[in-house]
Amino acid sequence: MPAVKPSYADFLKIKATEDSERQVKLEPEFMGINNKIITLLQLPGIDLDKKAGAKSPLSAENAILYKEIFRLQSYGNMKEADAKIARLTDKRLYSDVLFQRYMHPTAYKTTFAELDDWLTRFPDHPGAERIHKLAVSRRPEGHKGGWANLKFRSEVPEIHEPKMATPKTYVSKKDRTPEQNQNVRALSVKVRSLVSEGEPGLAQETLYTAEAVQHMDEAERDALKAEIALGYLYDGQSARALDLSRESVRRSGEAVPLASWVAGLGLWLKKDYANAAIYFEKAGTSPYASPWLASGGSYWAARSHMRAKNVKEVSRWYREAAKHTRTFYGLLALRALGQDIRLNWENAAYTPADEEKLLDTVEGRRAMALVAAGQYDLAERELLHFDFAANPSMRPVVLAYAGHVGLSEVALRLGSMLDAPGGKLYDAALYPVLPWEPEGGYELDPALVHAIVRQESRFDPQARSPSGAAGLMQIMPDTARHVLRAPAMTDEGVETLLGRAEENLTIGQAYMKELLADKNVNGDVMAMLAAYNAGPGNLARWKKKFGPVTDPLLFVEMIPVSETRTYVKRVMANYWIYSLRGGQGVRTLEALSSGQSPRYAYAPQDTNPFKLAANQ
């Protein structure tokens, strides 16, 4: 990647020149039957060359032109893009070209007339809602026109983690008025906010003195006390944490599994392993515990029994943890038991009949053309715009197509909803491969990069967080400026750069390398992930507070920020599963299961498992 100067305009000029001069090799090829690369024209039983118009594939020449047009426009080079547009003989993706141009943050000032015309011509486009919002903001005073037949984006399929048991939800039987319910919710939010701010004492005082507490039942009060107890534990007040958590367990038992978890951790810190095991068991077996908490409670029960020399119980609690296969502690338990981690890397079968069904839909035809032009993110927007609620039979069709051409976000969303034959999971869809790579290829373990992307953005290149993190790896603008050594880069420039998948991966990979070399990380993968999520400054403070890490699992559980604790464990679970997909082994899993720090160790090798067949 070329050095980026403080002037974003200079950067755009350099990139556009490189991209225009680069020899683009792109054929309208797709993953076909039996994972062989074939063109649409060669699919058995389909004479697409005899079909007219939109059902025919893009020609190689038009596919190359479109790819260059989208690339030039992304860097704001509209004049160069216009020259390519003039050479197009197939205008079916013109709506997407115009959408990209009209929504560019700096390079093009769109008129109301252009937006009005676009909405009139392309009311079913997945970008219609954004264009409509912009058009309304620029509508001339007195303009009374409207737009008929607008088809705003359908509800995007939610992502459900695979085979995760659904815990029971505690429902109070307390008779409350709507106003009292609202006050109870407000008190709960206030208490949790104070705990997250490092004020457990003030949180406890607020709980005890608030008028709304009289409208709570015991289990509701104890659930909040468990969170306050956890805050005390992170604040170094383990005695208060133990008193409060054990009191909650005595009163509300299995209804508040977090209280049992806090009591177990507090007793572990006191080296009272026999009693710690009792509380961890309660957390591990509560029907109200999430799979992540249940597997953690069971795994730590096994650890506690081991420390207490109660060896007979160790395997039993490892087996309990291993029931939650794809969780952090579930995977550790499987390794401790010496059991294989069985995953299904077969894609959903993609058939000529599926191809026909896709070609019979507007979204399918446009998505196929966009894939031919290398615009995977736009193709995903098309397919996620599909009304699956009204057409549920299209879910397996789109899933099969997504797996074959590398539409990772679509694969993940639909793969989490559908089971493979025989009750298996579509793990290839649940842990998909990116259709993009960092510029220059992978310099770090691609399994680790994929693990972070899966957690950060769910493979959406345009993901944005309320805090301003952007793109596949959810990079903050100031982090991008730091990595690129471009402190003067404008907000618009950073936004455009981070919205491009390849550049986002390149910057994210460079930041990961920097963090791995940080003195407080020193090659520890979990420490690197904590720094990636919470910042290297916070990691340094935690290291200073807790001293040398002799128990890496305890260090993770003592991170005082809930989001970061969860993040580290979920990305590590992703990392191990992606490592199995890549076939390079799970050294960090083996290290942690034996009590060692998970040191980063990756020898550059064949990365084909992380390349789409169509892109090799």
| CA distances for 582 relative to 4, 430, 577, 605, 606, angstroms | 33, 14, 9, 10, 9
Please state, in angstroms and rounded to a whole number, the distance separating the CA atoms of residues 445 and 8.
Answer: 30
- What 8-state DSSP symbol labels residue 212? G
Given a contact cutoff of 8 angstroms between Cβ atoms, the answer to whether 95 and 121 are in contact is yes
Note if 557 is an active site residue: no
The DSSP symbol for 470 reads B
In 3D, which of 24, 85, 12, 86 has the Cα closest to residue 60? 24
C-alpha span between 5 and 28 (Å, rounded): 36
Residues with Cβ within 8 Å of residue 605, at least 6 apart in sequence: 584
3-state secondary structure 492-538: HHHHHHHCCHHHHHHHHHHHHHHHHCCCCCCCEHHHHHHHHHHCHHH
The enclosing H or E element of 39 equals strand 37-39
Side chain identity at residue 18, one-letter code: E
Residue in the structure block whose two tokens are 């939610």: 158
Is residue 30 within a helix (H) or strand (E), and if so which, with residue range? Answer: strand 29-31
Selected catalytic residue, list 220, 355, 380, 456: 456
Nearest-angstrom CA–CA distance, 228 and 232: 6
Structural contact between residues 200 and 231, judged by C-beta atoms closer than 8 angstroms: yes
What is the rounded (10 degree) CA torsion for 429, 500, 492, 120? -70
Sort 414 into a burial class: Cβ within 10 Å, 0-12 / 13-18 / 19+.
buried
Q: Which of these, 211, 269, 219, lies nearest to 240 by C-alpha position?
A: 269
Closest CA to 42 of 362, 53, 31, 360: 31
Radius of gyration (Cα) for the chain, nearest Å?
A: 27
For residue 569 the two structure tokens come to 């464990």
192, 227 Cβ separation under 8 angstroms: yes
Q: Which two tokens stand for residue 75?
A: 């860097």
Burial of 604 (0-12, 13-18, 19+ CB in 10 A): exposed
Amino acid (1-letter code) at residue 228:
I
Q: H-type helices in 385-443, by residue range?
A: 394-405, 408-415, 427-430
The residues facing 425 across adjacent strands are 419
CA–CA distance from 424 to each of 73, 162, 301, 418, 421 (Å)? Answer: 43, 10, 30, 10, 6
State the catalytic residues: 456
